[in-house]
Structure 1
Amino acid sequence: MEELARESIRSISLLSRPARGSDVPRLGSFGAIFIMLKSALGAGLLNFPWAFEKAGGVNTAIGVEMVSLVFLISGLVILGYASSISRQKTYHDVVREVCGQRIGHLCGFCFVFNLFMISVAFLVVVQDQLDKLCLSLYETVTGNTEEEMPNHWYTDHRFALFVVCLIIILPLSVPKEIGIQKYTSVLGTLAATYLSVAVIAKYYLKDEHTADLTPEHSQGLDSWASMFSVVPTICFGFQCHEACVTIYSSMENKKITHWVFISVTSMIFCLIIYTLTGVFGFLTFGRQVASDILMSYPGNDVVMIIARLLFGVSIITIYPIILLLGRSVVLTQILRFWERRAIITSVFESRCRLILTILWITVTLLIAIYIPDMRLCLIFAMQTEPINHRMRALLTGWGVVTVLTGAFIFGQSTSIAVMELMHKF
């Protein structure tokens, strides 16, 4: 009788929940493109002029961008196709359905860890921008130097970051569906575009162009090593694969051809913004360009102060998307566990979602405040199922090339980072 009662409760619970795929789609083409754009246009934008300098110039850097874009777009298309054939709505569920339960659990853990560390990195970037923004505003308004700036608890950038998390990030992160993020994504994309426009305008408004544009390593193995060392920076700039399955499953038109159009269009827009920022930032400062392009400009430059403020807004609008993706994995596991014991109500699901959201923000905020020096290198790979013998061979070959290229770049960039670290000590 007890077992029968459990089965009855489980059946009622399943009947009370909407069927998979029965949710009303909330995303059109416009919303999907903007969420993809906002997921990609992140902290990497500041580093592109430096990446162009390290790559050896404009032509080499654009070549690296174009080659990387082929792999990145193909990854987006493969994930959309895998979501279509598996009828799953999240990244980890797609992997579990296509590759098996054990691989799915491993992917879920790696997926959450990846998104969690990205969330920490974004808060570190926001904290850094708040610190520099307060300093620039103080110097511009008062004319005093950094050493003369008074230290009060309410001027501390850590307090400012806490206020931002409480007032802005938390309300934006609570909603369940990703469709609501299309409104903030438009704002975030426009904010990131302002930085690109400002860099271009500053180049043309400059009286003289005397920057040294000669590459640091013009030939030999050093030039190749320098070129490959910026591939992670460039790929990180276009990274939006974590969100693509959720975006695809929320769309009205789920045809693969339409998804290819969405992927290509969003990546082309990203390519234009990143390339323009990289090219004109590099042409303005040459070999003297800072890793953070905004640090290359005077602290009292009003145009760049606005750019720094809007860039912070851009990063803040990405955080809720990342949190939503990571929270969905944890929440799914919690609901599956409790579904075996009791009825899952909408109130219970809402409370779990709110608690997870608060915990995620709180922990990432504490890490960002007390462990500010963070560096990320996150690489994931996925393989989809075959169609026919010829297509199987083609896709297998492409998968091998993708994995080997990623493994080589990971090893090469990690080796350089380790050697630089050893050199410092």
Structure 2
Amino acid sequence: MPTEGYSINTEYGHHVSAQDETAPLLGSHRAQTRTSSGASFGFSVFNLMNAIMGSGILGLSFAMASTGIIGFSILLLIVALLAAYSIHLLLRLCIQTAVTSYEDLGLIAFGSPGKILVASTILIQNIGAMSSYLFIIKSELPAAIAGFISGDHHEAWYLDGRLVLLITLVCIVFPLALLPKIGFLGYTSSLSFFFMVYFAIVVVIKKWSIPCPLPLNHTMIYMEVSNSSECTPKLFAFSKESAFALPTMAFSFLCHTSVLPIYCELRSPSKSRMQNVANLGISLSFIVYFISALFGYLTFYDKVESELLQGYSRFLPNDVLIMTVRLSILLAVLLTVPLIHFPARKAVMMMFFSNYPFSYIRHIFVTLVLNIIIALLAIYVPDIRNVFGVVGSTTSTCLLFVFPGLFYLKLSFEDFLSRQKLAACGLLVLGICIGACSLTLITVNWAYNE
């Protein structure tokens, strides 16, 4: 979820005023603050963590349930290390080519097709991020409304998540996405990072508020512990649900389109200094992710939902802390989705209307089409894990692993047998294998469920 201060860096490597409609959000769904003297080391770490942490945190407990505690820990650590290494490759390319945006790396490497490929990948990633946020609105907003209204809510219209989603989209998201100025959204959406940290803290606290074994129903009828092993955590696990684990992790650690602009804004910039920013940001994000995933899993075990908040909504429907977390995340989502429209719309304009002057009719039409697409995805995709799985195994994997390795092999002047190029080749092959295998297993899982 994004944050933004005095100006927004564009995806195309230059700075524009935060009041300029053409300024897209940093990375897949981020922007960051810039000051005249450059961003400090600590603030750059904050910006990068803000770029990393988003809706993926809600799916990591489910990933742990499908891989086991140790299995999840190993996979999450591998993804974090590979993310840090791919940032290392991007920084080396930035120094060698003097390019400060992901799209321009694609342009230098493979010409206009390369730039279009990167832009379309970022567009799909943004659509996936927006649809995951709308899915959260669909699943959590009805419960939030019911929590503030006393009486019988059975069959009330505001408990229909799809209807509430459409009303929210039409009345809030679409008008905000149409605005030519987005500065105030950038300021307020910076709170979303703190909402994620608050969410992790509440997950830890509420570990002891839900009994295990879980109640069979809402009247708190309990299963006998002696007849169940559901309260025993699994160290390793493998099932058809495990296919969603790696893509969800890749989705959760994606920040690479933000790295080069953050590097350009870093005070006293150097490759080693920016690498330290990346290493610290990824490490702290890893800790927050792991803590929330671990305590979420130890609360629900194999009954953990693919969207973690749904479990708390079921067993602690009127809990004050859960209600505040729900409202915080809903607020962050409502302010983030319109902001993500800007880079998504910018990518569409660049790919299809780059030779045309600005038109309000085209502006409205593209925004409307994007809203329709993400609404259809949020309404008809039955489970948020499907969004994490498909987007994570395709665009997230490309931006995280495939493109950094591919661009380094193409643009670096080093000998092919050099250590860096061999490692880049390994990153490329590994990214392709992870994406292809995950997408194949997810497809098989869908067919199996059918």
TM-score (norm 2): 0.72
Whether 1:266 and 2:266 are equivalent positions in the alignment is: no
Give SS of 1:129's match.
Answer: helix
Distance in 2 of aligned mates of 1:424 and 1:208: 28
Q: Which residue of 2 aligns with 1:147?
A: 155
State, as a whole percentage, how many aligned pairs show the same letter. 16
120-129 or 88-97, which deviates more = 120-129
| Greater helix proportion | 1
CA contact (8 A) 1:49 1:293 kept: yes
Distance in 2 of aligned mates of 1:133 and 1:386: 52
Cα–Cα, structure 1 residues 60 and 147, in superposed 2: closer, same or farther, change >3 Å?
A: same
Q: Which residue of 1 aligns with 2:53?
A: 41
**Amino acid of the residue matched to residue 355 of structure 2?**
F
Cα–Cα, structure 1 residues 261 and 311, in superposed 2: closer, same or farther, change >3 Å?
A: same
Q: Which residue of 1 aligns with 2:232?
A: 213
Paired residues for 1:230-245 under 5 Å? 230-245=245-260
Distance in 2 of aligned mates of 1:329 and 1:85: 26
Give SS of 1:230's match.
Answer: helix
**Amino acid of the residue matched to residue 366 of structure 1?**
I
Whether 1:386 and 2:412 are equivalent positions in the alignment is: yes
**Amino acid of the residue matched to residue 424 of structure 1?**
N
Cα–Cα, structure 1 residues 105 and 259, in superposed 2: closer, same or farther, change >3 Å?
A: same
* Residue among 42, 63, 72 paired with 1:61: 72
Distance in 2 of aligned mates of 1:272 and 1:355: 46
How far residue 28 of structure 1 moved from its aligned partner, in angstroms, is: 0.8
**Amino acid of the residue matched to residue 257 of structure 1?**
S
Q: Which residue of 1 aligns with 2:324?
A: 306
Instruction: Give the aligned CA root-mean-square deviation in angstroms.
Output: 3.6
* CA deviation profile, 1:52-104 (whole Å, cap 9, x unmatched): 11112x22211111111111111223223323433333311122123434323
**Amino acid of the residue matched to residue 73 of structure 2?**
I
How far residue 279 of structure 1 moved from its aligned partner, in angstroms, is: 0.7
Q: Which residue of 1 aligns with 2:9?
A: none
Paired residues for 1:91-170 under 5 Å? 91-134=102-145, 136-137=146-147, 141-148=149-156, 156-166=164-174
Cα–Cα, structure 1 residues 35 and 168, in superposed 2: closer, same or farther, change >3 Å?
A: farther
Distance in 2 of aligned mates of 1:103 and 1:247: 22
Q: Which residue of 1 aligns with 2:27?
A: none
Distance in 2 of aligned mates of 1:369 and 1:406: 30
Q: Which residue of 2 aligns with 1:14?
A: none
Distance in 1 of aligned mates of 2:204 and 2:368: 38
123-132 or 295-304, which deviates more = 123-132
CA contact (8 A) 2:139 2:310 kept: no
* Residue among 271, 274, 285 paired with 2:300: 285
Q: Which residue of 2 aligns with 1:418?
A: 443
How far residue 336 of structure 1 moved from its aligned partner, in angstroms, is: 6.4
Cα–Cα, structure 1 residues 94 and 110, in superposed 2: closer, same or farther, change >3 Å?
A: same
How far residue 21 of structure 1 moved from its aligned partner, in angstroms, is: 6.4
How far residue 277 of structure 1 moved from its aligned partner, in angstroms, is: 0.5
CA contact (8 A) 1:92 1:329 kept: no
Distance in 2 of aligned mates of 1:389 and 1:333: 34
How far residue 280 of structure 1 moved from its aligned partner, in angstroms, is: 0.6
* CA deviation profile, 1:192-220 (whole Å, cap 9, x unmatched): 111111111111455668752343975xx
CA contact (8 A) 1:54 1:226 kept: yes
| Structure 2 unaligned regions, length at least 5 | 1-12, 18-33, 214-224, 382-386
Distance in 1 of aligned mates of 2:418 and 2:76: 27
Give SS of 1:156's match.
Answer: helix
CA contact (8 A) 2:204 2:291 kept: yes
The number of equivalent residue pairs is 381
Cα–Cα, structure 1 residues 315 and 271, in superposed 2: closer, same or farther, change >3 Å?
A: farther
**Amino acid of the residue matched to residue 408 of structure 1?**
C
Distance in 2 of aligned mates of 1:355 and 1:242: 29
Q: Which residue of 2 aligns with 1:192?
A: 196
Give SS of 2:105's match.
Answer: helix
Cα–Cα, structure 1 residues 117 and 52, in superposed 2: closer, same or farther, change >3 Å?
A: closer
Give SS of 2:200's match.
Answer: helix
Distance in 2 of aligned mates of 1:125 and 1:80: 34
How far residue 262 of structure 1 moved from its aligned partner, in angstroms, is: 1.9
Q: Which residue of 2 aligns with 1:366?
A: 372
Which has the larger Rg? 1
Give SS of 1:254's match.
Answer: coil
* Residue among 397, 400, 405 paired with 2:422: 397
**Amino acid of the residue matched to residue 108 of structure 1?**
A
Give SS of 1:337's match.
Answer: coil
Give SS of 2:418's match.
Answer: helix
CA contact (8 A) 1:55 1:230 kept: yes
Give SS of 2:190's match.
Answer: helix
Q: Which residue of 1 aligns with 2:7?
A: none
How far residue 148 of structure 1 moved from its aligned partner, in angstroms, is: 4.8
CA contact (8 A) 2:103 2:119 kept: yes
**Amino acid of the residue matched to residue 37 of structure 1?**
M
Give SS of 1:300's match.
Answer: coil
